[in-house]
Amino acid sequence: MRALRPPRDPAAPARLMIVGVGGRGGDNLNAVARQTIAVLCDIDKQRLAEAGKRFPGARLLTDFRTVLRDEAACRELDGVVVSTPDHTHYAPAMLALQQGLDVYCEKPLTHTVVQARNLLRAAEANGCVTQMGIQIHANDNYHRVVEAVRAGAVGTVREVVVFVNGTDWSAKQLPAKVAAVPDHVDWDLWLGPAAARDYSDGYHPASWRRYWDFGGGTTADMACHFMDLAFWALELGAPVTLRADGPEPHPQCAPRGMRCEYGFAAHGPRSALTLHWHAGSDRPEQALTSRGLQEWKNGVLFVGDEGWLISDYNKHVIGPDARRAQWQAPAPTLAKSIGHHEEWLRACATREQPSTPFAYAAPLTETVLLANVALRAARGKQLAWDALALRTDDAAANALLSQPARSGFDV
């Protein structure tokens, strides 16, 4: 274990390395731009050059390993922001943690279940301050929903329906068009731990989410955002059972629609409950139409003994009408967030943990990714999940909990 970093003045800028500067990475870079941006890294030299114009003092590089495997270079840094495709979250995040650096990493935290657990252990072992990028966690509406559910707005919650039907990260086949690698793209570094294959613009810069080797479809993209609300409000840990279903899984491509039913055991004052996840074209029609909620495209529906509450990012409604009329919202108990990125930056200085550290984000990510594992390996079959042992009771599913990394990218 490394020596723990001492607290520092929160007003002093942090020295940051940014891994991934385009797309979501560009948004994250904007959010921390007031800090000292010491290193910018991206496999796309055009994006890297544009970002470099804004931060002329930053070191520009395409390979994160150049700095993160250099102890002397890491001593000049405080933290690392990782905003790459899912399959390349793990290596830079793990290397940074091993160097004792604080880490902000986009959702889902990792590409595999085992990777999420490994990052959690490394963060704890090295005393690092961590945050997963589920920015909506800082939203006032989410705060009010958590308070309402915990205060008994709908009574004891025994069922939660989480659905994202307004997003489609699916494919029917791999990209057919093979092209020459653009001069500004380092394709080998983009592939990172994944097996070598020909370049196609069907992968970079965004459509990688459609394919198992790089992403996890709509589930990996969106479930951390929406299941977060249920995990937070009900203080969920790991499920004990799950069953995923949908179309016959493609060996390479994520489906247009899928669903997963998780069973959570009772814990403390919380009742045992079932959480239903519906992604893409798979829609919980009966649960919504029976309550007049058919206009909701995405949301989290808490079903309790005394009513229901549905929420998306920005609004929530309690029902039925009689329950809503008698309900009085409690006084706010959750402090207003200073901003998802600001939380992490302040915590890096004070050596506390922000709202979605890896201790929270890793179990959430594991649960989300288990849905894809169950669909691909055991469609329609109920699996038992032993979170402590990191195993199901199905050998084929266990084989998908981790993924070998290509030589040079194993950490």
End-to-end CA distance of the chain: 17
Residues 233 and 85 in one domain: no
Contact 280, 218 (CB under 8 A): yes
Alpha helices per DSSP H over 277-382: 285-289, 321-326, 340-350, 358-378
Per-residue pLDDT tens over the stretch 345-360: 999 999 999 999 999 9
Instruction: Specify the pLDDT at position 1.
Output: 55
Quick one: what percent of the chain has pLDDT higher than 90? 97
d(CA 294, CA 288): 5
d(CA 84, CA 389): 29
d(CA 60, CA 146): 42
Contacts of residue 145, defined as CB under 8 A and 6 or more positions apart, other chains included, come to 229, 233, 300, 309, 311, 316
Instruction: Specify the pLDDT at position 4.
Output: 79
Cis amide bond preceding 108, omega within 30 = yes
Q: Is 70's pLDDT higher than 90? A: yes
Instruction: Specify the pLDDT at position 205.
Output: 87
d(CA 201, CA 179): 7
Q: Is 399's pLDDT higher than 90? A: yes
Per-residue pLDDT tens over the stretch 149-171: 999 999 999 999 999 999 999 99
Q: pLDDT-derived band of residue 375, with 50, 70 and 90 as boundaries?
A: very high
For 9-32, what is the mean pLDDT? 96
Residues 165 and 25 in one domain: no
Domain count, the chain: 2
Residue 91 lies in a domain: yes
Total count of residues recorded for the chain:
411
What pTM was computed for the model? 0.97
Please state at what angle helix 217-234 crosses helix 140-150, rounded to 10 degrees: 50
Residues 102 and 157 in one domain: no
Residue 406 lies in a domain: no
Contacts of residue 194, defined as CB under 8 A and 6 or more positions apart, other chains included, come to 87, 213, 214, 406
Pair of tokens at residue 398: 């266990």
Residues 261 and 150 in one domain: yes
Task: List the CATH number of the domain containing 346.
Answer: 3.40.50.720
Residue 233 lies in a domain: yes
For 40-61, what is the mean pLDDT? 98
Residues 250 and 325 in one domain: yes
d(CA 14, CA 77): 8
Residue 157 lies in a domain: yes
Instruction: Specify the pLDDT at position 176.
Output: 81
Residues 292 and 376 in one domain: yes
Nearest of 159, 246, 224, 226 to residue 367 by alpha carbon? 224
For 303-317, what is the mean pLDDT? 98
Per-residue pLDDT tens over the stretch 73-119: 999 999 999 999 999 999 999 999 999 999 999 999 999 999 999 99
Task: List the CATH number of the domain containing 386.
Answer: 3.30.360.10
Exposure of 137 by Cβ count < 10 A (0-12 exposed, 13-18 middle, 19+ buried)? Answer: buried
Residues 273 and 329 in one domain: yes
Q: Is 249's pLDDT higher than 90? A: yes
For 246-271, what is the mean pLDDT? 97
Per-residue pLDDT tens over the stretch 212-226: 999 999 999 999 999
For 183-191, what is the mean pLDDT? 97
- At 40, which amino acid appears? L
Contact 94, 381 (CB under 8 A): no
d(CA 78, CA 65): 16
Instruction: Specify the pLDDT at position 177.
Output: 83
Q: Is 48's pLDDT higher than 60? A: yes
* Residue 174 DSSP SS3: coil
d(CA 47, CA 67): 19
The CA radius of gyration of the chain, in Å to the nearest whole number, is 21
d(CA 235, CA 228): 10
Residues 304 and 344 in one domain: no
Q: Is 386's pLDDT higher than 70? A: yes
* Residue 117 DSSP SS3: helix
Q: Is 2's pLDDT higher than 70? A: no
Residue 59 lies in a domain: yes
**Average pLDDT over the chain, rounded to an integer:** 97
Per-residue pLDDT tens over the stretch 317-353: 999 999 999 999 999 999 999 999 999 999 999 999 9
Instruction: Specify the pLDDT at position 332.
Output: 96
Instruction: Specify the pLDDT at position 206.
Output: 85
Residue 408 lies in a domain: no
Residues 39 and 158 in one domain: no
Instruction: Specify the pLDDT at position 365.
Output: 98
Calculate the CA 51 to chain-centre distance. Answer: 24
Per the structure, the complete domain to which residue 70 belongs is given by 15-136+340-358
Residues 56 and 155 in one domain: no
Residues 42 and 80 in one domain: yes
Nearest of 329, 364, 120 to residue 235 by alpha carbon? 364
Residues 96 and 130 in one domain: yes
